[in-house]
Structure 1
Amino acid sequence: MTRASAGHEAARHAVSIPTAAVRPRTEPHDVPLSEIQRRIWAAHQLDPTTVAPTIPAAVDLSGPLDVDALESAITHVVGRHEALRTEIGVNEGLPAARLGAGLAGLRRVDVSGSPDPDLAASEITRAEAEEPFDLETFGPLVRGTLIRLATERHWLVLPVHHAAADALSIGLMLGEIVNSYGAYKMGGKPAAAPVPLQYPDFAEWERESREEIETAVDWWCEELDGFVPGLALPHDRRRLGWSTHKGDHLTAQIDAGCKAAVERFASDAVITPFAVMTSAFCALLHRVSRTDDLVAGVSFANRRFAELDQVIGPFANTLPFRSRLTDGDSFRDLAGKTSQRTHAILGRQHVPTARIADAMEARREGVDSPLFGVLFTFLDEDRSEQTLDDLTITPLSVSAGPSKADLSVSVAKRGAEYEVRLEYDTELFDQTTARSLLDAYLSLLAAGLDRPDDPVWALPMSPSSVVTGNGVRSRPPPPWPTWPPGSRRPYASIPNGRL
Structure 2
Amino acid sequence: MSAASHPLTAPQYGMWAGQRMDPDSPAFWTAEAIELRGPLDAGALGKSVFDTLRRCDALHMRYRERDGEVRQRLDASRTVSWARHDFSGADDPWGAAAAWMRADLDRPARLDTGPLFATALLRLGPERHLWYLRAHHIALDGFAYLLLIHRVAELYGAHRTGRAPPPGRDFGLAPVIEEAEAYRWSAQCTQDRRFWQARLQDARVPVTLAPLRPPSDTARSERHRLPAAAYTHWQAGARACGVDWGAWLLAGIGAWMQGQCGTREVTVGLLVMNRLGSRALTVPCMGMNVVPLRLDIDPQAGFDALARQARDTLATLRPHQRYNYEWMREDAGLAGSHRQLYGPVLNLMPFDRGFRFDGLHAEAHSVSVGSVEDMDITVSPLPDGLRVDMEANPAAYGAKALRDHHRQLLATLDAALADPGQPVGRLAEGRSRAA
TM-score (norm 2): 0.90
User: In the TM superposition, what is the alpha-carbon distance from 1:378 to its structure 2 partner?
Assistant: 0.8
Q: Distance in 2 between matches of 1:425 and 1:121?
A: 24
Alpha-carbon offset, residue 123 of structure 1: 0.7
Q: Which residue is 1:337 aligned to?
A: 309
Does 2:217 correspond to 1:248? no
Secondary structure class of the residue paired with 1:458: helix
Please tell me whether the aligned partners of residues 412 and 431 of structure 2 are also in contact (alpha carbons under 8 angstroms).
yes
Deviation at 1:266, TM superposition (A): 3.3
Deviation at 1:199, TM superposition (A): 3.5
Shift of 1:243: 5.6
The CA deviation at 1:232 is: 5.1
Map of 1:474 onto structure 2? none
Q: Which residue of 1 aligns with 2:51?
A: 76
1:438 deviation in Å? 0.5
Q: CA 1:258/1:462 → structure 2, altered by over 3 Å: closer, same or farther?
A: farther
Aligned equivalent of 2:19: 44
The answer to whether structure 1 residue 205 and structure 2 residue 175 are counterparts is no
1:391 corresponding residue in structure 2: 360
Offset at residue 103 of structure 1 (A) = 4.5
2:262 to 269, 290, 293: 290
Displacement of 1:45 in angstroms is 2.4
> Of residues 371, 383, 389 in structure 2, which corresponds to 1:415?
383
- TM-score, normalised to structure 1's length? 0.79
1:372 lines up with 2:353 in the alignment: no
Cα displacement (A) at 1:375: 1.1
| Cα distance, 1:325 vs structure 2 | 1.7
Rounded Cα–Cα distance in structure 1 between residues aligned with 2:121 and 2:79: 13
Aligned mate of 2:92, from 87, 108, 116: 116
Q: Is the 8 A contact 1:103 1:142 kept in 2?
A: no
Instruction: Return the offset for 1:408.
Output: 1.6
SS in 2 for 1:158: strand
Give 1:317 shift: 0.5
Matched, 1:328 2:300: yes
Match of 1:140 among 112, 115, 129: 115
**Secondary structure of the structure 1 residue equivalent to 2:367:** coil
Alpha carbons 2:215, 2:393 under 8 Å: kept: no
Shift of 1:60: 0.9
C-alpha distance in 2 between matches for 1:239 and 1:336: 30
Cα deviation 1:133-191 (Å, max 9, x = unaligned): 31122x13221011111222111110011111111111111111111111111224421
In structure 2, the gaps of 5 or more residues are: none
Larger fraction in helix: 2
Aligned sequence identity (%) = 23
In structure 1, give the amino acid aligned to 2:424. Answer: V
Amino acid at match of 1:203: I
Alpha-carbon shift at residue 128 of structure 1 (Å): 2.2
AA partner of residue 360 (structure 1): A
1:266 aligns with 2:238: yes
3-state SS, counterpart of residue 98 of structure 1 = strand
Aligned match of 1:160: 135
Please tell me whether the aligned partners of residues 63 and 71 of structure 2 are also in contact (alpha carbons under 8 angstroms). yes
- Superposed CA RMSD in Å reads 2.6
Alignment of 1:345-360 (within 5 A): 345-360=317-332
Q: Equivalent residue for 1:7?
A: none
Q: Which residue of 2 aligns with 1:19?
A: none
What do residues 91-141 of structure 1 show as CA deviations (whole Å, max 9, x unaligned)? 56743322234342311111222222122111112122332331122x132
Q: 1:284 to 1:268 in 2, by over 3 A?
A: closer
